[in-house]
Amino acid sequence: MPEKTPLFETHQKMGAKLVDYSGWMMPVQYVSALKEHAAVREAVGLFDASHMGEFELRGAKALETVNRLVCNDVSLCADGQAMYAGLLNEAGGFVDDVIVYRHSAEHMVLCVNAGNIAKDWAWVCQHIAGSGVTAENQSAQTGMLALQGPKAVDVLSTVGKLFSGQAVAQLKRYHFAEGEAAGIACTLSRTGYTGEDGFELYCSASKTEALWWALLEAGKPWGIMPCGLGARDSLRLEMKYPLHGQDIDDNHTPFEAKLNWIVKMKKEAFLGKGALEKQKEKGVERLWVGFVMVDPGIPRTGYAVFHNGKQVGTVTSGNFGPSVQRAIGMAYIDSVCAQDGTVLEVEIRERKAKAQTVKTPFWQKGA
Amino acid sequence: MAEQIPNNCRYTQDHEWVRADGKLAVVGISFHAQDTLGDVVYVELPPVGAWVSAGKAFGVVESTKAVSELFAPVSGKVLKVNEALVSNPQLVNTEPYEQGWLIEIEMSAPEELGVLMDAAAYETFLHSTH
pLDDT of A344:
98
CB-nearest to B38 from A29, A300, A349 is A29
Q: Residue A230 and residue B38: Cβ atoms within 8 Å? A: yes
Helix (H) or strand (E) holding A88: strand A81-88
In which element (H, E) is residue A135 found?
strand A134-137
CB contact under 8 A, B64 and A296: no
Report, as an integer, the average pLDDT of A278-283. Answer: 97
The stretch A149-164 carries a mean pLDDT of 98
DSSP string, B83-105: THHHH-TTHHHH-TTTTT--EEE
Kindly tell me if the per-residue pLDDT of B3 is higher than 80.
Answer: no
**pTM, full prediction:** 0.95
- Residues A300 and A293: their CA atoms lie apart, in Å, by 11
Cross-chain residue pair A320–B44, CB shorter than 8 Å: no
Q: Give the one of B38, B42, B67 whose C-beta lies nearest to A33's C-beta.
A: B38
Q: Does A31 touch chain B (CB under 8 A)?
A: no
| Closest CA of chain A from B42, distance in Å | 7
Question: What is the Cα–Cα distance from B33 to B83, expressed in whole angstroms?
Answer: 20
Residue-wise pLDDT tens digits, A109-140 = 999 999 999 999 999 999 999 999 999 999 99
pLDDT value at position A237? Answer: 98
Q: B22 to chain A nearest CA, in Å?
A: 34
What's the pLDDT score for residue B130? Answer: 61
Contact of B60 with chain A, judged by CB distance below 8 Å, is answered with yes
Using CB atoms, which residue from A233, A298, A349 is nearest to B41? Answer: A298
Residue B90 near chain A (CB below 8 Å): yes
Tell me if residue A74 falls in helix, strand or coil.
helix
Residue of A nearest to B68 (CA): A349
Cα(A267)–Cα(A244) distance, integer angstroms? 24
Predicted confidence (pLDDT) per residue in B62-71, tens digit: 999 889 999 9
Query: At residue A6, what is the residue type?
Result: P
pLDDT at B41 over 70: yes
The ipTM value here is 0.88
φ and ψ of A52, to 5 deg: -60, 155
Smallest Cα–Cα separation from B59: which of B106, B94, B92? B92
Where do the H-state alpha helices sit in A208-349? 208-219, 229-238, 273-282
Residue A31 Cα distances to A9, A75, A150, A226, angstroms: 17, 43, 21, 9
Q: What distance in Å separates the CA atoms of residue A167 and residue A246, rounded to the nearest whole number?
A: 38
Report the C-alpha gap between A139 and A147 in whole angstroms: 19
pLDDT for the residue numbered B1: 54
Give the Cα separation of A160 and A93 in Å (integer): 39
Backbone φ and ψ for B31, nearest 5 degrees, come out as -55, -45
Side-chain-side CA neighbours of residue A3 (13 Å): 15
Chain B CB within 8 Å of residue A15 CB: no
For A316, the enclosing helix (H) or strand (E) is: strand A310-321
- A361's enclosing H/E stretch is none
B60 min Cα distance to partner chain A (Å) = 10
pLDDT band (50, 70, 90) for residue A82: very high
Return the number of other C-beta atoms located less than 10 Å from residue A167's C-beta. 12
Cα of A39 vs its chain's centroid, Å? 19
> What phi and psi, each to the nearest 5 degrees, are found at residue A184?
-100, 125
User: Which stretch of DSSP H or E encloses residue A46?
Assistant: strand A45-48
Q: What's the whole-number average pLDDT of chain B?
A: 95
Q: What percent of chain A has pLDDT over 70?
A: 100
Q: Is it true that the peptide bond before A361 is cis, omega within 30 degrees of 0?
A: yes
The whole-number pLDDT of residue B65 equals 85
Q: How far apart are CA A233 and CA A322, in angstroms?
A: 11
CA distance to partner chain A, nearest, from residue B128 (Å): 19
Rounded Cα gap, residues B12 and B58, in angstroms? 14
Look at residues A257, A227, A229, A264 and name the one whose alpha carbon lies nearest to residue A241.
A257
Is B57 in the A-facing interface, judged by CB distances under 8 Å?
Answer: no
Residue A274: is its pLDDT beyond 80? Answer: yes
Closest partner CB to B42 (pick from A32, A233, A320): A320
> CB of A139 within 8 A of CB of A155?
no
In terms of Cβ atoms closer than 10 Å to its own Cβ (0-12, 13-18, 19+), residue B14 is middle
Q: Do A289 and A338 contact (CB within 8 A), yes or no? A: yes
Q: Which residues of B touch A33 (CB under 8 A)?
A: 38-39, 64-65
Cα A13–chain centre separation: 27
Q: For chain A, what is the mean pLDDT? A: 97
> Is residue B65 within 8 angstroms of chain A, CB to CB?
yes
